Structure 1
Amino acid sequence: MGRVATAGLAGAAIAVTAATAVDTARAADLPVRKAVPIEYVRVCSASGAGFFYIPGTDTCLRVSGRARFEAGYIPVQNRTNSAGDLSQYRGLLRMNVDARTQTGYGTLRAFLRVEAASRVGVTMASGTQQRIGNAFPATGQDALGRVQNYVVTDKAFVQFAGLTAGRAASFFDFYAHDYELSGATAGSDMPSTNLLAYTSKMGEGWSATLAMEDPNLRKNPFYAASAAPTGTIPGQSGLNNIFVTAPSPVILGTNANGTANTAAFVDTVQRSRMPDFVGALRYDAGWGSAQLSAAVKDVNIGGFIANSGISTLTAAPGSATGPVGAGAAAALLAARGIASGSQTDYGWAVQGGLKLNLPWLASGDGIYLQGAYGEGALVYTGYSFFTGYYSSQLTPVQGGPFVQALADAVINPLTGRIDLSKSFTAAASLLHYWTPEWRSAVFGSYGEVGFRRGTREAFSLVNSLVGSTAPPIGAAFASNPILRDTYQIIAGASLIWSPVKDLDIGIEGIYLGTGLLGGRDADVTRPVTLNGLPVYTENRYDTTQIRIRVQRDF
């Protein structure tokens, strides 16, 4: 029995072995399915450090970013209105994507940058960015004007065969606050604007650029005496929203004694009618860089606002009897050689800049020198950059004693014509490395803005007729800030520690002085009057700011 079982098991084993051999032979005849090869990320050294090939393509990509914390302190004792914030804070993130492909025409590049920030405090929360739609404010009682979030497409451009198209830094700019933390000095600095440009290389180190740039980001609004609330001026119904129509008065007729008796309102909202045209000639060499740039822009207004005028021609002096129609206003203005209320003038600016590398002091050292002059182009000259742009009048800092006039232009209420402002700025900045880990910058700037003589006085004549805030000529007018010519001095220094690569820990101190080029203004922080005249006046305002920063780039 045992022998029979043993023989059976041996036979079964032989059968299984034979079957396995047959299956193996058949499997060998089948096609072999290979595993998909793994394509590892390859370094793209031709495009620079940090670039790698996008798998399956010949495009090189670099992803980078930034995290930043800032805090500031500025002494302000005035707590009226929105003033009184001593401390300021900001947290910022930045993400960059740089894609490059080599072609028969050269490098095809696309660059993207997104920035977002949470900013607190009147100084750190940028009124400029809020006015141009990049920042979104909180609306709480204790937060409005001092808490805002900021989200912006900072860069999104394509470069190919000398062409740059998209959102990029203005080709007019040169220094652009490269050595500063706060970016306070006067000077053009437009890191984000929409443009179409062509750059031609002209021999060793030379390049020339012609650009068509977005005009909306380089406008400063017209100065207007005031916008009367609905119902206070006949025919003004619906015009209290000054962001849709910004009324500025024009005197069309006078009495025998020379006082105004007929006026109408011109809409000074600037339309986007022509791009800004920018040209730049640049030279780059081992010793540094030099650039000469120029820009031209249109400065335009709409026509008369229908039924917005008033007249005292048929009534007692000082009384308003009814609106002056747009047609009648245009006819009266035509007698002065102006075809209609709508007009266009042209502002312009020129700038020269020089950068010198100073390796004989220390590796990485350099100095910038820059100057600019413009008419009707405050954002191009960069006057009062720290105060903020895209506003016709601002205080030097929150809680300042008097207002600066920062308009690109004014409608002269007597002639009805556009009067362009004039401004110039000069800046210098020096960077020095004490050691590879420690560096400092010292910087300063001076600027002035002025308006055509007589325009300021002309605004005083519209007071009794249109209910303007402008006072009549006299002692009160002498201490009024309307269209004052002003100057601004900024100086500062910083100390930055970089204990490891791409980490900055720094502190910066700034002095800001703003003054009048003539006369005195009423101190709005001490609104005391005697017989209708201000008791306290100022012709200069000085303040300081301290800012600290911790920043990591990767």
Structure 2
Amino acid sequence: MKITKFVVASATALAAGTVGAMAADLPAFEPVEYVQIEDAYGAGFFIIPGTETALKIGGRARIEGRIHDATDIKRDEKEFNARARFNLRIDARTQSELGLIRTYGDFELMTNSQQAVSTNLVHGYIQIGGLLVGKTTTSLDFYTGDLSSNTVDRNRSDTEVWQANYTYALGNGLSITAGIEDNAARARGVDYTAGGDPEFAGNGIPNFTAALRGKYGWGQFGIGAASNTIRSLYGEYDSQMGFAVLGAVTFNMGMIAPGDRVSFQAAYVDGAMGYVNSNEADAAVDAAGKIGTNKGWMVGGGLKHHWTETLSSGFDGTYFNVDHAVDGEDYSRYAMGATLEYRPVQDLLFSVGVGYADTRYDNKVLANGKDSEDELAVNFRVERTF
């Protein structure tokens, strides 16, 4: 019995020593550092381990088919085009002594049924407190529509430009933004041949912009102005200075249904046609050889209505009138569109949209013997955001 106890004790001691020796030979591991969720900036942000930077990675996939007739809708000259877009979006934010430092990028890859492939940096900027430098939506894009499908172009400011601006919060929901914009995205050139294609003299002085915004429980508003330098391609013509004045207001209509809204907008442009999304030249040379700016005004609006939690629709339109520098080239254009949108689950969209536009010339007859030209577009879209 004593021998048995001795053997058991010896075996136990040997095993303990062996396990201790093995444990001493194992490598030491650092404590595991788990990813920390940061919801101060909204859903989807997390802290990059070892830093104080919150990061969000997301994107969008969009597939659509579009039937577009840009001649006469009574004739069988329709065009079908399928298009796919993929966007990768990265948003990094860090609090600092200078305020919030934000770096944002939105990269897009697009292809269509004509086998055209393009890449684009839709948004790419650094924001330090109220200072923003880079490419993003212009500070004058107060209202960009209520459609979720690609139909026909409406005449309003809706683009991304290279810019540098500063936003200062005035308090009570008000803020003011002032800055400069690269006018490469806005310049429409000079028409030297009365009805020909505009010609460009290259990018010169940037556009100066200023905007006042207000955001409240009832909705929001924005008013702003921009300059636009028109450079002549030929030395005998002096450069011209154009400008644009824009404004819009949106009213929340939650008393009808959650998320409902109605918007109104207006703009006046003189030698700054890019601010109303027009391909018309900023200036033109008349029969007497004098250069003058083209002028125009726009009014428009739209609404969004939610029929149910998953079914909604949108409608918007613009009316644009042009006072051309050349006699007999005045015209007006109205464009409108409507969509029906279905969201069966969060971040998944099915939509169908239809749009119509008509351009009418005051004192001009086209090659087809008419004084107007119209276009019709129907679009089907599937979109997934993540």
Same fold (TM over 0.5): yes
SS in 2 for 1:216: helix
Counterpart CA distance in 2 for 1:195 and 1:71 is 33
Residue 297 in structure 1 maps to residue 228 in structure 2: yes
**Alignment CA distance shift 1:178-1:156 (3 Å):** farther
| Offset from partner CA, 1:89-134 (integer Å, 9 cap, x none) | 11111110010112233211111100111124xxxxxxxxxxxxxx
Residue 201 in structure 1 maps to residue 169 in structure 2: yes
Give the structure with the higher percent strand: 2
| Offset from partner CA, 1:312-350 (integer Å, 9 cap, x none) | xxxxxxxxxxxxxxxxxxxxxxxxxxxxx2521101000
Contact kept, 8 Å, 1:179 with 1:430, in 2: the verdict is no
> Which residue of 2 is the match for residue 177 of structure 1?
145
> Which residue of 2 is the match for residue 325 of structure 1?
none
SS in 2 for 1:538: coil
**Alignment CA distance shift 1:33-1:72 (3 Å):** closer
1:74 aligns with one of 59, 68, 74: 68
Structure (1 or 2) with the larger CA radius of gyration? 1
Contact kept, 8 Å, 2:193 with 2:285, in 1: the verdict is no
Residue 38 in structure 1 maps to residue 32 in structure 2: yes
| Offset from partner CA, 1:492-539 (integer Å, 9 cap, x none) | 21111101011110111112111112343331xxxxxxxxxxxxx111
**Alignment CA distance shift 1:433-1:24 (3 Å):** same
Flag structure 2 segments of 5+ consecutive residues without an equivalent.
none
Counterpart CA distance in 1 for 2:16 and 2:54 is 53
AA matched with 1:293: G
Counterpart CA distance in 1 for 2:19 and 2:257 is 77
> Which residue of 1 is the match for residue 357 of structure 2?
512
Structure 1 stretch 24-33 or stretch 486-495: which is displaced more? 24-33
> Which residue of 1 is the match for residue 51 of structure 2?
57
2:189 aligns with one of 204, 213, 221: 221
Counterpart CA distance in 2 for 1:418 and 1:543 is 31
> Which residue of 2 is the match for residue 307 of structure 1?
none
2:129 aligns with one of 161, 164, 177: 161
Aligned-pair CA distance for 1:414: 2.5
SS in 2 for 1:343: coil
**Alignment CA distance shift 1:98-1:418 (3 Å):** same
Contact kept, 8 Å, 2:47 with 2:54, in 1: the verdict is yes
Alignment of 1:121-140 (within 5 A): none
**Alignment CA distance shift 1:178-1:441 (3 Å):** closer
Residue 368 in structure 1 maps to residue 368 in structure 2: no
Counterpart CA distance in 1 for 2:303 and 2:102 is 32
AA matched with 1:548: F
Counterpart CA distance in 1 for 2:70 and 2:135 is 37
Contact kept, 8 Å, 2:134 with 2:162, in 1: the verdict is yes
Counterpart CA distance in 2 for 1:269 and 1:498 is 44
SS in 2 for 1:500: coil
**Alignment CA distance shift 1:91-1:26 (3 Å):** closer
> Which residue of 1 is the match for residue 157 of structure 2?
188
AA matched with 2:100: T
**Alignment CA distance shift 1:39-1:516 (3 Å):** same
SS in 2 for 1:72: strand
Counterpart CA distance in 1 for 2:241 and 2:69 is 40
1:409 aligns with one of 283, 305, 320: 283
Alignment of 1:76-95 (within 5 A): 84-95=77-88
SS in 1 for 2:40: helix
**Alignment CA distance shift 1:27-1:296 (3 Å):** same
Contact kept, 8 Å, 1:382 with 1:425, in 2: the verdict is no
Contact kept, 8 Å, 2:253 with 2:259, in 1: the verdict is yes
Residue 425 in structure 1 maps to residue 298 in structure 2: yes
Aligned-pair CA distance for 1:85: 4.7
Residue 114 in structure 1 maps to residue 110 in structure 2: no
Counterpart CA distance in 1 for 2:118 and 2:296 is 30
Residue 547 in structure 1 maps to residue 372 in structure 2: no
**Alignment CA distance shift 1:294-1:25 (3 Å):** closer
Aligned-pair CA distance for 1:77: 7.6
Counterpart CA distance in 2 for 1:503 and 1:224 is 48
**Alignment CA distance shift 1:72-1:21 (3 Å):** closer
**Alignment CA distance shift 1:182-1:22 (3 Å):** closer
Counterpart CA distance in 2 for 1:422 and 1:29 is 84
Aligned-pair CA distance for 1:418: 2.6
Flag structure 1 segments of 5+ consecutive residues without an equivalent.
1-9, 121-145, 229-241, 247-267, 305-340, 384-388, 390-405, 457-482, 524-536
Aligned-pair CA distance for 1:433: 0.1
2:331 aligns with one of 471, 483, 486: 486
> Which residue of 1 is the match for residue 92 of structure 2?
99
> Which residue of 2 is the match for residue 436 of structure 1?
309
| Offset from partner CA, 1:36-78 (integer Å, 9 cap, x none) | 2221111001121110011111100111111111111234688
Counterpart CA distance in 2 for 1:351 and 1:284 is 17
What TM-score does the superposition give when structure 1 sets the normalisation length? 0.63
Contact kept, 8 Å, 2:148 with 2:351, in 1: the verdict is no
Counterpart CA distance in 2 for 1:382 and 1:17 is 89
What TM-score does the superposition give when structure 2 sets the normalisation length? 0.89
Contact kept, 8 Å, 1:117 with 1:149, in 2: the verdict is yes
> Which residue of 2 is the match for residue 345 of structure 1?
240
AA matched with 1:493: A
**Alignment CA distance shift 1:207-1:30 (3 Å):** same
AA matched with 1:34: A
AA matched with 1:170: T
> Which residue of 2 is the match for residue 538 of structure 1?
370
Counterpart CA distance in 2 for 1:55 and 1:29 is 29
Contact kept, 8 Å, 1:488 with 1:514, in 2: the verdict is yes
AA matched with 1:275: P
SS in 2 for 1:379: helix
Contact kept, 8 Å, 2:272 with 2:282, in 1: the verdict is yes
Contact kept, 8 Å, 1:185 with 1:445, in 2: the verdict is yes
Counterpart CA distance in 1 for 2:200 and 2:108 is 29
| Offset from partner CA, 1:176-234 (integer Å, 9 cap, x none) | 234342262211111x21110000000120000001111111111211329x9xxxxxx
